[in-house]
Amino acid sequence: MSTRFWLRPKWIVGHLLCAFLVILFINLGFWQLRRLHERRAHNKLINDHVTAPVTTLDDALRGGVATAQFRRVRITGHWDTGTTVLVRSKSLDEQPGDDVLTTLVIDGKGIVVNRGFAQLGGGGETTMLSAVRPDDTGTVTVTGVLRASESRGLFGPKDPATGHLDVVNRIDLPRLQQQTTQRLEPVYLQLVSSTPAERSFVRPIPLPATNDGPHLSYAIQWFIFATVGAAGWPLLLRKTARSEAAEHAEEDEPV
């Protein structure tokens, strides 16, 4: 009997499957490295912008939305209390709650301000919405960082396309534009501080973490899997060949 078992159909399928998995694991490793480079570039953008001096909204937007992200600005205006909405399903320090949005009116325009996180209480979102609406006390000055509008990905809950919403799933500026007569800026402001001060139970939201995340460790794992497959399959073939050779030698021995 021939010992060239690796040419049998089932082993050819194994060769192809092993090669496919090795190539897949290598590509997944490089994909994680690309994500690591993207995250480091994003972290640099955040660090460069949040450490830059506070500027005006017009100056921050002069280069467009992409360059305005995470720029620190200070804006003076007044709250449009009727535009207050909640962004559901948020958490801070492992506590469930909602983010609080209100439009700040400045020179005939408006900018959506994420005023912070409010922990859910016993009254639910209806009670919370009433409690977090700002008092109409006149002029307010807010300092914060600019963020881009959010959009739904492939998955996740949808907001109704029409009607007035008191609770939304994300900070979708085009959707919020439908609920105000003010022309909204193409970015929103994540509040850091305000004068007069914000309510004590509305807590400022921390900026995104600027660490490398798990991408490097994931890349190493994928490369290890590829190495195990590339080295392990030939060893398996070698072991099987020896086993079959021994069986054939036993068959050829005289009785």
pLDDT in tens, 28-60: 999 999 999 999 988 888 888 888 899 999 999
User: What is the model's pLDDT at position 170?
Assistant: 93
pLDDT band at 250 (very low <50, low <70, confident <90, very high): low
Cα Rg of the chain, angstroms: 29
Average pLDDT of the residues in 9-28:
89
User: What is the model's pLDDT at position 155?
Assistant: 78
- Quick check: helix, strand or coil at residue 176? helix
**From the CB of residue 210, how many other CB atoms can be counted at a distance below 10 Å?**
15
pLDDT tens, position by position, 152-206? 877 778 888 888 999 999 999 999 999 998 899 999 999 999 999 888 889 999 8
pLDDT band at 1 (very low <50, low <70, confident <90, very high): very low
User: What is the model's pLDDT at position 199?
Assistant: 85
Task: Flag whether pLDDT at 121 surpasses 80.
Answer: no
Task: Flag whether pLDDT at 82 surpasses 60.
Answer: yes
pLDDT band at 2 (very low <50, low <70, confident <90, very high): very low
8 Å CB contact between 110 and 101? no
8 Å CB contact between 113 and 204? no
Termini Cα distance of the chain:
18
Tell me the C-alpha to C-alpha distance, in Å, between residue 15 and each of 7, 72, 156, 214, 243.
10, 56, 39, 32, 19
Which tokens go with 47? 């660090």
- Mean pLDDT, all residues of the chain: 87
Instruction: Give which of 13, 63, 57, 24 is closest to 230, Cα–Cα.
Output: 24
Task: Flag whether pLDDT at 114 surpasses 70.
Answer: yes
